[in-house]
Structure 1
Amino acid sequence: MDGRSGVVAELTAEHARVRSLFDHIRAARPGGAERTALVERAAAALVRHAVAEKAWLYPAVRRYVPDGDDRAERELRAHREVEELLASLTAADPAGEEFTELLVAVVARVTRQFVEQEQTLFPRLEAGCPQEVLRDLGDRVRATEASAPTRPRPAAPDAAPLVRLTAQVWGPLDRLRDRSARRGRG
């Protein structure tokens, strides 16, 4: 993973997994069941990723990155924009034009955010944050992504303690709903 460790390696690896999902979505037939399922997977991955970043990355950015408060606020606004798009996307008809337009908007916005993080934010965090903190945050991000909610909630709190608290409730509920929805289709 290009020499990175801890939280930066975890988040960069998740960025790569989401980009791969985007590639599969582009290759799938528009309006088809495969594309719809891939979009659902990508949306769930993005929500889990956002929860982990809100819970662990942005508090570290605030503490260890120059202008960290401003940067964290910009990132949180970007997450809200993506979650609003995801909420609209997951509610749209997969065969409709709106779905395609929303999908293009999500991919563009997320890709831009990933590039900004990887090229600017992560190097600044690595420069200012102790290695043991980066490693610990990586473990926390991995654990959070494994149990986090999977459905977009644009109005959910952004404050790290509230994100961690609400994730403990919404995560299991979302996974239960996800399993029920899959059974209903099968």
Structure 2
Amino acid sequence: MGHGGDVVRELTFDHDEVKEYFGQLRAATDGKRRRELADLLTIGLVRHSVAEEEYLYPAIREHLDGGDRIADKEIADHARVEELLKELEQLDPEAPEFAGRVEELRTEVLAHIKDEEENLFPALRHNCRQSELDRLGDRIRRAKKLAPTRPHPGSPSTPPANKLLAPGIGLVDRARDLITGRGKGA
């Protein structure tokens, strides 16, 4: 995940990637493949969410009318998704509950994506200079490289604590992923 462009373009590419994972996950019939796809989806969503919480939402608070309310709602959406990801991580991909949890997650995530793409991103484009959008895109890409790859529902989701803790948690997650082979290709 690191596509280039301004913040809106970068995050929209992430959204498209997440939608693709959901499509592949729905079509997968083998439990091993479902676990691999769920791990890739989790890695992508966690990195994306952490980067938004570190840089996008502070910009929303600064540049949009009602930005605090909007950012708080978005962070609450992320918290719900992170809880679902944590639950999904614990489930056997062959268990009937796995498909139900994936569908619940899909519904939450697609609603969040729709809201961002139809409301939040156009408002941000309208209220920010292109240079600021480009700068945020660069910061989002850097944050995703250092972000955790596993859900950590109890972690701080607002600056400055999230910016201080996320890189360390991310390092531990990436070490665990390397040892276990989780998320190859992510």
TM-score past 0.5 threshold = yes
Identity of aligned residues (%): 40
**2:75 counterpart SS class:** helix
Q: Displacement, 1:168?
A: 1.3
- 1:114 corresponding residue in structure 2: 113
- 2:169 corresponding residue in structure 1: 170
Q: How far apart in 2 are the matches of 1:102 and 1:71?
A: 26
Q: Displacement, 1:123?
A: 0.4
Q: Displacement, 1:62?
A: 0.4
Q: How far apart in 2 are the matches of 1:88 and 1:126?
A: 35
1:156-167 alignment runs, 5 A limit: 156-167=155-166
Q: Displacement, 1:160?
A: 2.2
Where in structure 1 are there 5+ consecutive unaligned residues? none
Q: How far apart in 2 are the matches of 1:81 and 1:167?
A: 18
Deviation per CA, 1:47-84, whole angstroms, max 9, x where unpaired?
00000000000000001111110000000000000000
TM-score by length of 1: 0.92
TM-score by length of 2: 0.92
1:32-43 alignment runs, 5 A limit: 32-43=31-42
Aligned length: 178
Q: How far apart in 1 are the matches of 2:38 and 2:177?
A: 14
Q: How far apart in 1 are the matches of 2:170 and 2:23?
A: 27
- 2:28 corresponding residue in structure 1: 28
**2:181 counterpart SS class:** helix
- 2:134 corresponding residue in structure 1: 135
Q: Displacement, 1:39?
A: 0.5
Q: How far apart in 1 are the matches of 2:13 and 2:160?
A: 25
1:100 aligns with 2:111: no
Deviation per CA, 1:138-162, whole angstroms, max 9, x where unpaired?
0000111122100101111011221
Find runs of 4+ consecutive structure 1 residues off by over 2 angstroms: none
Deviation per CA, 1:101-146, whole angstroms, max 9, x where unpaired?
1111111100110000000000001111121111000000011112
Where in structure 2 are there 5+ consecutive unaligned residues? none
**1:160 counterpart SS class:** coil
Q: How far apart in 2 are the matches of 1:166 and 1:105?
A: 29
Q: Which amino acid aligns with 2:71?
A: A
